[in-house]
Chains A and B, each alone.
Chain A
Amino acid sequence: MQKHAAVIILLIALGVGLLAPPAARAHAFLDHADPRVGSTVRAAPGAVSLTFTEPVEASFCRIDVHDAHGQAFSAGVLEHPKPEELRLPLPVLSAGRYTVHWTVTSVDTHQTEGRFEFTVSAP
């Protein structure tokens, strides 16, 4: 009886493992950004800086910046000034709304992604 119950519990354990919800597997979340999330800046920023809640592996991170028409900006090489910070140099942006899409891998290999917008009011 006891052996059967133990086997049932082990099977339930494996079953729950296999039926686990499709959760995000990530832990490096965006803590703050420059330009700030949803902000409007007067002068076009020279770069977009993203600071995460934990250190990231820069080789497995990506940041894309798009304008309101969905056109991507091929800016400079992604920089990694601090363990939890990424910085993407930008070309001179004209006035308009921009979307930053980020995908990062934290040092414990969990991946997250997200996006935010900022607006340049004057170039």
Chain B
Amino acid sequence: MTPLLVSVGWLDLVCTVVLAGGYISGALIAPPGHNGRRAIQWAGAVLAATLLLELIINGVRMAAVSSTDGLAFIAEIFGTRWCQLWVARCTGLALLLLLRVGSRPAAAVAAFWLALRSFQGHAGAHGTFPAMIDWVHLLAAVSWLGSLFQLAMLHGAIPPLIAQRVRRLATISVAGLIPAGLYGALLHIPSIDRLVNSPYGRTLLVKLTLAAVLLGMGAANHFRYVPTLIRNRDRTADQQLRRIVGWEIALAALLLLMSALLGILPMPHAMPQ
């Protein structure tokens, strides 16, 4: 079940980034092109299937510890907090897909829709404040990676104005991403010992390493490739930027896999009394 859970969690995250990031990028950067729009629609469809799969998997797992069956079991499942948030996520997804990509209200709905995911996961189980911080982390990551993805989806030469807007959004996102991520890491792993000696801690270290490389690439974009594109406006600068954005997206996919793994690994804990 674990590999399936990780894979489903990863798909959920990737689709969430493409979908919500597409709406946010569409409102704050520029409306997506044909490819970008199709990617958003595909992400919505795959996410709908993934959400259904998540419900089935959780239903199977919960059936193992439930004393009821049939309609009573279904009523119990839908009475759980996770399932109520699942229904809200599905409703939000349907609403999002009805809204026009590129509009500010759609971007606002996408941003608030992300909060449901934060409340549904680990952070939500810890309380309202950790869930809100997790939402900031998720919103920042989705805005950054989603806008990068839309940049890669652009057909033809990247307009310097769009590259500049993506750079600005990425910088703002990183400013929210790092403190919120640090809060989450310290909440779940309060000591160095637990960071090094637990599967959760070691996975987090891998994620942090990937994040550091990704930030380095982002810095290269910010200080080198985007200014070069703005200054030169030539094919070479465009290709250089596209190349690094492609690497960033591939690395982000690996990073999201680590996030999916963290979503199911047990957090290190003290011995009971």
Contacts and interface: CB of A to CB of B under 8 A. Distances in A.
Contact of B66 (A9, A19, A59, A107): A59
Interface of B, secondary structure class, is helix
Contacts of A33: 272-273
A108 B61 contact: no
A30 B199 CA distance: 19
A37 B272 contact: yes
Contact of A27 (B82, B122, B260): B122
Contacts of A42: none
B90 interface: no
A106 interface: yes
Contacts, number: 125
Contacts of B261: 17, 20
Interface string B70-106: 0000001001111000000000000000000000000
B235 interface: no
Interface stretch (B3-11, B135-143, B223-231): B3-11
Q: What secondary structure prevails in chain A residues at the interface with B?
A: mixed
Contacts of A9: 250-251, 253-254
Contacts of A31: 270, 272-273
Given A13-B254, A30-B272, A33-B273, A18 B7 contact: yes
Contacts of B267: 27
B260 A53 contact: no
B120 interface: yes
A20 B258 CA distance: 11
Interface in A95-113: 103, 105-112
Interface in B50-79: 58, 61-62, 64-68, 76, 79
B127 to A, nearest CB: 9
Contacts of A108: 82, 120-122, 124-125
A71 interface: no
B249 interface: yes
Interface in A55-110: 55, 57, 59-62, 103, 105-110
Nearest to B123: A108
A120 to B, nearest CB: 18
A44 to B, nearest CB: 20
A59 B266 CA distance: 21
B225 to A, nearest CB: 14
B243 to A, nearest CB: 6
Interface in A23-54: 23-33, 36-37, 53-54
Nearest to B63: A60
Contacts of A19: 3
A6 B125 CA distance: 35
Given A13-B10, A20-B6, A24-B266, A61 B65 contact: yes
22 contacts: A9-B254, A13-B253, A17-B3, A18-B3, A18-B7, A19-B3, A23-B2, A23-B265, A25-B265, A27-B125, A27-B267, A31-B273, A33-B272, A36-B273, A54-B125, A59-B79, A107-B81, A107-B82, A107-B124, A108-B122, A109-B58, A110-B264
Given A37-B273, A62-B65, 18 more contacts: A6-B249, A10-B250, A13-B257, A16-B257, A17-B7, A17-B10, A18-B6, A20-B3, A21-B199, A31-B272, A32-B272, A57-B81, A57-B82, A59-B79, A60-B66, A107-B82, A109-B80, A111-B61
